[in-house]
Structure 1
Amino acid sequence: MDILISGASVAGPSLALWLQRYGHHVTVVEKAPALRGGGYAVDFRGRVHMETLGRMGLRDSLEARATHMGDIAIVDAAGTQVAALPSAIFSGDLEVLRGISPTCSTRRRGSTCDIASATRSRRSPRTSAAWT
């Protein structure tokens, strides 16, 4: 089956990976001219998230790129720490920068998917490329 997914942030490439694994031809369209880096971090929390990343073949790759967020220190005007917020409040079992997650899923070995950018010229509205 041919399937079109709109959006190449986190969910789009992840869904494409699963659908392709089950024999579907997937095209992901994205308004931006390229995958975006930066932005907020993506947190994975708990057994289900970690097992899913493992089944997708992404866990090792993402763990290698973890932010390893530390505790947040609150300091006064003199620079003396007056309080601390544990990192567990803000990050999950695994935290990566936003741009890392789709990059890992789209570059997973043996995974190919067509990507089309909606910002390409009208003359060539769809460019197909393999994500490997």
Structure 2
Amino acid sequence: MSRTTLAALALLLGAPALAQSGLPPAPLAYTQLPDPAQEAEAKALMNTLRCLVCQGQSIADSDAEMAGDMRALVRERIAQGEKPEAVRAWLIERYGSYVSYDPPLDAATLPLWIAPLVLLAAGILLARRSIRRRRRA
């Protein structure tokens, strides 16, 4: 193999090792708040926010470094007295509506809200046609 091929192969195989920065986690990423009521609010909010790295997990469940940073931000803001709705609004403003598992209804998310209804209506129509054909036969 040529040196260029070996270098490219080394970069490809070494890329996952560079995915985490090696920095220590944010102070409140894995530490609960002293006030149980605030921690409960923070956890409830964290379960509704999507990890932007994992995308299939909430920030409460993800071990990604960014999810830890987001958990720390949520806990810091809740500890400062902000309401969960305000923290959610701030995160949506910062990261976009994709960060929320319950995106707001607007022009960008309208297809997400309409698609299930359209698919359900199409399924009902197909089922009705199929039943009618069976009855005729």
TM interval, short-chain normalised? under 0.3
Structure 1-normalised TM-score?
A: 0.25
Higher Cα Rg, which structure: 2
| Higher RCO (C-alpha 8 Å, min separation 6) | 1
- Greater helix content: 2
Tell me which protein shows more strand as a share of its residues.
1
Q: TM-score, structure 2 length as denominator? A: 0.24
